[in-house]
A = this chain, B = another copy of it.
Amino acid sequence: MPELRRDPISGEWVIIAGERAKRPKDFAGQSAGKDAGGPSTCPFCAGNESLTPPEVLAFRPPGSERDTPGWWVRVVPNKYPALAVEGDLNKTGLGMYDWMNGVGAHEVIVETPDHDSDLASLDTRQIEDVLWAYRARYLDLKKDPRLKYILFFRNHGQVAGASLSHPHSQLIATPMVPGEVAAELAGAKRYEGYRDRCVYCDILRQEANEGTRVVTENESFIALEPYASKYPFETWILPKEHGPSFAAISAPAQSEFAQILGETLRRIKVLLDDPPYNYMIHTAPCDSDDRPDFHWHLEIFPRLTIAAGFEMGTGIFINVTPPEVAAQYLREVNLTPDGRLMEEGAAVGDSDS
């Protein structure tokens, strides 16, 4: 069973996943990827449902059997979970140190049965169903009082930590509010305490006025490069309407969220030649997803540069692409009027000319 240990200085928790333990030689060459075998051995492909634990959710035609083909979105427990769903939460001290057993949840959202597809290439209706699957799992897991926070995230490409290439996202539910999340909530609250306004609403207003960091928008969402981008081409997707929880989204807004997420990922894919990236949904903790001072959103971090000693030692990132420049490049990617990919060779605008 994984365990949670707390750093006595920072107060941050670490998951020690001893069951996944690696010996020193196992680290060599791990970047080779695990799914070189392709669809025949891929646990996320249709027909290979027996290679995963039983599904906890699937969108499939009426009458179709569990754990058989036919689904278009499927959610399964992670076979090698970072946190395990069984057992009560135990906490103890080990001398000066704090310890908890690794209770939580770790699930995989398989986004399509098509091994060689990609979230950016799916049609909006399919992306929307992936987002509905996120929401359904959120609402189900939120009932478990042991779970305090649920993070939805996506790792794309080996450099971004994806070990299987079949399109998928993940969720991990934790038995505490993680440090980064607590810090973000505290930052939003601090700003609101000082100005009596939501910091994200203020960002939306200033960015819409200035325009230089906006990538694209639709009726309910805006995609922008944040003023203090840590990563080149870091992109946030913010709902225009203030609200703490992504799970409270309306059906029309969900459709627009799917549209802008797909379009933004396509702009990044075309411009940067399908770069590795991570995205994460930032939403309020389970027990306070009605708190008025937070504003949920999604953050995309392309992994084009390496965080090294300076970033690790200071928390200050060095970003070689000003967000205004990044936004201009992303805006100039030519898509069809409904945000789809153009024919090959006609897609990248040339802001050098």
| CB proximity of A246 to chain B, nearest CB, Å | 13
| CB proximity of A185 to chain B, nearest CB, Å | 9
Complex Cα gap A149–B316 (Å) = 12
Contact pick for A314, options B9, B10, B179, B309, CB 8 Å: B179
Which of A20-28, A55-63, A257-265 touches B?
Answer: A20-28
Contact A228 B7 (CB under 8 A): yes
Contact pick for A308, options B14, B18, B160, CB 8 Å: B160
Q: Is A317 at the interface (CB under 8 A from chain B)?
A: yes
Contact pick for A151, options B8, B313, B320, CB 8 Å: B313
Which of A67-75, A111-119, A136-144, A198-206 touches B?
Answer: A198-206
Interface positions of A (Cβ within 8 A of B): 5-18, 20-25, 27-28, 30, 82, 94-97, 149, 151, 153-155, 158-162, 170, 172, 174, 178-181, 183-184, 187-188, 190-191, 199-200, 202-203, 206, 210, 226-230, 232-233, 271-273, 275, 278-280, 282, 301, 304-310, 312-323, 325, 329, 348, 352
Decide yes or no: A14 and B230 within 8 Å by CB, A21-B321, A155-B309, A181-B314 being known contacts.
yes
Complex Cα gap A347–B352 (Å) = 54
| CB proximity of A111 to chain B, nearest CB, Å | 14
Contact pick for A203, options B96, B191, B306, CB 8 Å: B96
Contact A179 B316 (CB under 8 A): yes
Contact B280 A199 (CB under 8 A): no
Q: Which residues of B contact A154 (CB under 8 A)?
A: 309
Per DSSP, are chain A's interface residues mostly helix, strand or loop, or mixed? mixed
Contact A314 B82 (CB under 8 A): no
Count of this chain's copies in the oligomeric assembly:
2
Contact B199 A312 (CB under 8 A): no
Which residue of chain B is the closest to A226 with respect to CB atoms? B7
| CB proximity of A267 to chain B, nearest CB, Å | 11
Among A178, A306, A308, A322, the most chain B Cβ lie within 10 Å of the Cβ of A308
Complex Cα gap A317–B25 (Å) = 21
Q: Which residues of B contact A7 (CB under 8 A)?
A: 187, 226-228, 230
Q: Could you give 5 example pairs across A and B, Cβ below 8 Å? A: A12-B316, A151-B310, A160-B308, A170-B310, A181-B315
Contact A14 B153 (CB under 8 A): no
Complex Cα gap A215–B197 (Å) = 51
Q: Which residues of B contact A282 (CB under 8 A)?
A: 313
| CB proximity of A306 to chain B, nearest CB, Å | 4
Decide yes or no: A180 and B229 within 8 Å by CB, A21-B321, A206-B95 being known contacts.
no
Contact A14 B317 (CB under 8 A): yes
| CB proximity of A43 to chain B, nearest CB, Å | 19
Q: Which residues of B contact A272 (CB under 8 A)?
A: 24, 27
